[in-house]
Amino acid sequence: MLLLRIAVAAAYVLLAAGCGGGDPTDAEASHASVGTPVAGMTPFVASVRLAGVDVARLSGAAFVIEPKLGATAAPVQASFDAAWLRRSNRSSVADGTIVLPLFGLYSGWNNQVTLKLAFEDGSVQVLRLSFATTAYVDPHAVYDQPVVMKGRAPSQAIGFNYFYMKSGYGPPVVVDTDGEIRWADIGTFNSQASLFADNGFYVVTGLTMRRLELDGTETVIGMISSSDVDYLRFTHNMDYGKAGLLVEPDAKIDGVDNLESMLTEIDASGQVLHEWNLAEIVSRYMTAAGDDPSTVVRPGVDWFHLNAAFYDRRDDSILVSSRENFVMKIDYASGDLKWVFGDPTKYWYQSPSLRARALTLTNDGLYPDGQHAVTITPTGELMIFDDGQPSSNPPAGGNAGEFRTFSSVATYGIDDAALTATQHWSFDYGQQIKAPFCSSAAQVADGSVLISYATADNFTHARLVGLDPQRNVVFDFQYDTTPCDTSWNAQVIPLESMRFQ
């Protein structure tokens, strides 16, 4: 355990509803006091015990971590309903105690924390504590040594405050928009195939699924297996599905390794809900249309290279990103191919059946080319990180497609009936950065965008860039990397508004 230098404030403040005469409120009658916080496995996590709490009258608790002077990121805040505290064995009516997790602490800093106890009569007791954490030293000498290419100015608004990097070095790493690390964990397992959901991280490494809580606890859920195919390993990303999580296994089918051409939906316990064999889906479509699928589908070869998927609730479909070929839309239930969208100079476009379902650009935008991180934005547009990279494994004599000297982020309006796409906007950072592989882009509700250029500067740097709704650069943090390890992908995480129910 890391040691904390701790100073707990003795005073507390009562905020009472309906003060003035009559019986005291629950907050006024409360005798809650703050114990000595206990450090977690890293300086970003601790827990604190409160005694003298009328737990039977408690409706919830919360904490707020005061930002550093000059910080622009909103404070870390989390609230915990009484039901959650009981269910997680963090409250006791018998001895009048609750144990609150604290996470998102600054390392090497005298953190100022406000604790709030809310009671059933609407009154609130507020207690304050301060304690200093030790400095965090990243064992990989990466995440604690960012180069701030552009820092966020106080006047620059952006629609998110925290994000995490999916790391090949170990567990996820959470950073705020000031470049401060706000959460990290110990361990050496690869977290590239991970997703923040249900207030924690789901991570799949190899065939093992685990969950990491923000309080630092870890649960190994177990091995993921299928009754239909032999899973070999899980690769690339984890995304939100219709009823669970979308993961991307390599699998052995009929004695042949199907590499990066299968999508599976699992629940939170690792049970398989649905499987899509993308090789079978493409082959079935091409055969029905009179084409020879072997010109595109080549089992045992990385012909598809699935790197992202997105479930679209608007029409019960799934978008999948084939780095080698195109973005493909399939029906969730049947797996039927709806359309494809990609560089028409690549070899797949020579197949009449695929060409017949290919989206045509209606303006001067760029076709997806080696793309990653396919999503639908809150306003209904298709968004991709466009690496600008030709196919790595074309068939003999097949055209690999266009090579661009820069990477970009783009959104498109899709007309499914007309099979057209209109590029609405793109951001190429002045064509300064080329990230040929990996990388991601994600848009939040107000139009702000988080970009991870995972393999910039010839695979030596990761660049984490935040754009405001007008696509001005708000921050730009550079980290050393080896291939895709520092930030294969990045995801916004709402540490400023966590609620545990």
Instruction: Tell whether 137 is covered by a domain.
Output: no
**271 shares a domain with 200:** yes
**126 shares a domain with 10:** yes
Pairing of strands 5-7, 245-253: unpaired
**71 shares a domain with 46:** yes
**302 shares a domain with 328:** yes
Instruction: Tell whether 199 is covered by a domain.
Output: yes
**114 shares a domain with 160:** no
**234 shares a domain with 339:** yes
**187 shares a domain with 239:** yes
Q: Which of 247, 403, 211 is nearest to 320 (CA)?
A: 247
**191 shares a domain with 234:** yes
Q: 173 is written with which tokens?
A: 């790493």
Cα–Cα distance measured from residue 386 to residue 439, given in angstroms and rounded to the nearest whole number: 9
Cα–Cα distance measured from residue 233 to residue 263, given in angstroms and rounded to the nearest whole number: 12
Residue-level pLDDT at 19: 45
Residue-level pLDDT at 22: 74
Provide the CATH number for the domain around residue 359: 2.120.10.30
Instruction: Tell whether 293 is covered by a domain.
Output: yes
Q: Residue 352 in 3-state DSSP? A: helix
Domain boundary among 132, 161, 180: 132
Instruction: Tell whether 139 is covered by a domain.
Output: no
Side-chain-side CA neighbours of 293 within 13 Å: the count stands at 17
Q: For the chain, 501 residues long, give each residue's pLDDT as a single digit of tens.
A: 333 333 333 333 434 344 455 789 999 999 999 999 999 999 999 999 999 999 999 999 999 999 999 999 999 999 999 999 999 999 999 999 999 999 999 999 999 999 999 999 999 999 999 999 999 999 999 999 999 999 999 999 999 999 999 999 999 999 999 999 999 999 999 999 999 999 999 999 999 999 999 999 999 999 999 998 999 999 999 999 999 999 999 999 989 999 999 999 999 999 999 999 999 999 999 999 999 999 999 999 999 999 999 999 999 999 999 999 999 999 999 999 999 999 999 999 999 999 999 999 999 999 999 999 999 999 999 999 999 999 999 999 999 999 999 999 999 999 999 999 999 999 999 999 999 999 999 999 999 999 999 999 999 999 999 999 999 999 999 999 999 999 999 999 999 999 999
Cα–Cα distance measured from residue 495 to residue 161, given in angstroms and rounded to the nearest whole number: 8
* Total residue length of the chain: 501
DSSP run (H or E) holding 91: strand 91-92
**225 shares a domain with 101:** no
Provide the CATH number for the domain around residue 19: 2.60.40.10
Cα–Cα distance measured from residue 183 to residue 500, given in angstroms and rounded to the nearest whole number: 18
Which DSSP letter does residue 206 get?
B
Residues 6+ apart with CB under 8 A from 235: 193, 248, 249, 250, 260, 306
- Which residues sit opposite 197 in a β-bridge? 200
Q: Which of 425, 390, 391 is nearest to 408 (CA)?
A: 425
Domain boundary among 99, 132, 165: 132
* Host domain of residue 104: 5-132
Domain boundary among 100, 132, 164: 132
Residue-level pLDDT at 21: 55
Strands (E), 32-142: 33-34, 38-39, 45-51, 58-65, 76-81, 91-92, 97-103, 110-119, 124-132
Q: How many domains does the chain have?
A: 2
Q: Residue 23 in 3-state DSSP? A: coil
**458 shares a domain with 389:** yes
Residue-level pLDDT at 5: 31
For tokens 């820092």, name the residue.
151
Which DSSP letter does residue 431 get?
G
**272 shares a domain with 320:** yes
Instruction: Tell whether 141 is covered by a domain.
Output: no
Instruction: Tell whether 436 is covered by a domain.
Output: yes
**156 shares a domain with 23:** no
